[in-house]
Amino acid sequence: MQPLGDQAVLIHFADENDALQFAAVVRRDGPPWLVDVVQAYASVAVFFDLDQTGYAAVAEHLRQLQDALSRQPDSSTSAAGRLHDIPCCYELQLDLHRIAEHTGLDAEAVIRLHTEDVYTVYAIGFCPGFPYLGYLPSPLCGVPRLTTPRTRVEAGSVGLTGRQTGIYTEARPGGWNLVGRTPLELVNVADGYFPLRTGDRVQFRRIDEAEFRRLQGERLA
Amino acid sequence: MPAIATLTILSPGLYTLLVDRGRPRTRSLGVPVGGAADAFSLALGNALVGNPPDAPALEVCLSGPVLCADEDLACVLFGAPFELNAGGRRLAAGKTFTLLAGEELSIHGTSERARAYLCIGGGIDGPEVLGSRSSLQPVVAGAELPCRRGTIMSRFLRSSFEWNAEPGVLRFLPGAQAEWFSEDRLTGQEFTITPASNRMGLRLHAEPLGSSEREIVSEPVCPGSVQVTRDGQCIVLGVDGQTIGGYPKIAQVIAADLDKLGQLRPGERARFRRVSVEEAEDLYRRKRRELQEWLVRLYVAERRKER
């Protein structure tokens, strides 16, 4: 537990699940000075209102929540994340060849492995609503970022690098290897539409180009 | 019933943005806090024209816009000392004025600092997104912003405050990976603000702080986080900065000094000075008190004038 300046307390946990659980506990506890809880992988930042409290009081409160959690591990929050089925068209890829080359797998095997596992949203960031999903099955791990990032990656593009996969929720420059594309709208900032949250689970489902066109612009069910 | 007026952008300037206090509760969605880069100036500018401190206003940066309205407007430009004129009249930053219907208001450049706020009595309207009217995109030529008709007596507030006695000194607490670096390197030299700086972050240049091949797994960051990139240079995150990051953080600028980040301009120099958590909290409270005292004075003066 350490200060993230005088605006937040930053806590590192042993693993991603502990961090998820703790973030859920703090949100549910909802003290009046709470401004936001941001989780990324095994770390959690708890932002507080400086007009109402200070670092020492917040750190003490969080320590008590941590103690309570360690005495009685919260089984309800570990399963609290929603499961999302996200259609992905692997024909609309740009880097399948590169991924196949780096992993030594053929394209079909890459697609099969990518759709096989259920991923967890370990962080949201980079751009509004961008879910960092982990972790890839080991044969798919270790593909480095593109040497020269693309100046524009279209919204819906599904990328992977290292141990992670993720979805570009808005068009952005980006350096991940693009394995496919989802037709769904996964973020609408103006509408406050953010269906994916940290702790949710995601599984990709293979669709063809006709299905992609049919679903284009629809929202996550 | 308040009369509706329209403020038209004739030329947008370098980066002119509708801002209020931003969105402190959307970081977990990956949406930056946003809002005024210098909230202290926004609050006082608003108070000068009788608005609540957080009312939406236009943030202008280094080179301002040209605008005109179809009705008289009660205005002030508060913050950096931009040059401005309307019709043939030369106006002054920090001094309220009535922009007459049809008159062209030109906000030029500023010899020091970087940003100021064009506040209009009754506020400026814009779509609310996630609880804030701060726009995610700068204004463009031809944009029409709804506001309120009004006139105002001339009043002036100088832009010099106790909390900001040293605008180029950024007070900090150690960052999460501070022990990876030598603190002397951070506190013992001056840093130059480079032209690649914007609302997302200030890119600083100095003798490298030492390069680290080590990477961290992305963790939460916030405005004021001082990240060290692979080449040993620093990026200080601004109000539009990302919400999580994978660069090691050597320091975290304290809340009381975040408004300074919005006023540092390319070519200018800054220094870092370490404080304790207790000092940081005390500096925040003192600044808050100074703001409240000014707000009270300005609102009281406003009411006397009305009587």
Which 3 state secondary structure label does DSSP give B266?
Answer: coil
Dump pLDDT digits (tens) for A47-95. 999 999 999 999 999 999 999 998 887 665 555 689 999 999 999 999 9
Asked if A47 lies within 8 A of B129 by C-beta distance, the reply is no
Burial of A66 (0-12, 13-18, 19+ CB in 10 A): middle
Which residues of chain B fall below pLDDT 70?
1-2, 211-213, 305-307
Please state, for a pLDDT cut of 90, what percent of chain A lies above it. 87
Domains of chain B: 4-159 (no CATH), 166-276 (2.40.100.10)
CA distance B50 to B257: 26
On chain B, the residues whose CB falls within 8 A of the CB of A127 are 30
In sign, the C-alpha dihedral spanning B185, B188, B192, B196 is positive
Confirm if B170 and B154 have CB atoms less than 8 A apart: no
What CATH code would you report for A83-215?
2.40.100.10
CA distance A97 to B212: 32
Mean pLDDT across the stretch A156-164? Answer: 95
In sign, the C-alpha dihedral spanning A126, A129, A135, A138 is negative
User: Which of these, B273, B174, B59, lies nearest to A10 by C-alpha position?
Assistant: B174
pLDDT of residue B1: 44
* Beta-ladder partners of B124: B147
Neighbours of B182 (CB within 10 A): 13
Distance between first and last Cα of chain B: 20
Which 3 state secondary structure label does DSSP give B179?
Answer: helix
Domain residue ranges in chain A: 2-79, 83-215
Confirm if B128 and B54 have CB atoms less than 8 A apart: no
Asked if A197 lies within 8 A of B28 by C-beta distance, the reply is yes
The better pLDDT of the pair A34, A80 is held by A34
CA distances from B241 to A192, B31, B82, B187 (A): 19, 9, 26, 23
Asked if B218 lies within 8 A of A36 by C-beta distance, the reply is no
CA distance B154 to A117: 67
pLDDT of residue A64: 96
Mean pLDDT across the stretch A180-184? Answer: 97
pLDDT for residue A221 is more than 90: no
On chain B, the residues whose CB falls within 8 A of the CB of A38 are 27-28, 220, 243-244
Task: Residue window 88-107, chain B: list those with CB within 8 Å of chain A.
Answer: none
Neighbours of A84 (CB within 10 A): 20
CA distance B215 to B202: 21
Round the average pLDDT of chain A to a whole number and report it.
93
User: Which of these, B185, B186, B179, B162, lies nearest to B289 by C-alpha position?
Assistant: B162
Q: What are phi and psi of B145, to 5 degrees?
A: -110, 125
**Which of B128, B200, B222 best tests the A interface by mutation, with the highest count of A CBs <10 A?**
B222
Mean pLDDT across the stretch A191-217? Answer: 96
The better pLDDT of the pair A153, B1 is held by A153
pLDDT of residue A74: 64
User: Which of these, A169, A84, A82, A164, lies nearest to A130 by C-alpha position?
Assistant: A169
Neighbours of A182 (CB within 10 A): 25
Asked if B222 lies within 8 A of A8 by C-beta distance, the reply is yes
Q: Residue B243: which residues within 8 A CB-CB, separation 6 or more?
A: A38, A124, A125, B27, B28, B30, B31, B32, B220, B221, B222
pLDDT for residue A124 is more than 60: yes
Dump pLDDT digits (tens) for B255-289. 999 999 999 999 999 999 999 999 999 999 999 99
Q: Residue B218: which residues within 8 A CB-CB, separation 6 or more?
A: A40, A41, A123, A125, A132, B244, B245, B246
Confirm if B118 and B91 have CB atoms less than 8 A apart: no
Residue A119's identity, in one-letter code, is: Y
Tokens for B232?
Answer: 């040993």
Write out the CATH class of domain A2-79.
alpha beta
Q: pTM of whole model > 0.95? A: no
* Beta-ladder partners of B212: none
B178 touches chain A (CB under 8 A): no
* Complex confidence, ipTM: 0.94
Residue B244 has its nearest CB partner, among A2, A50, A123, at A123
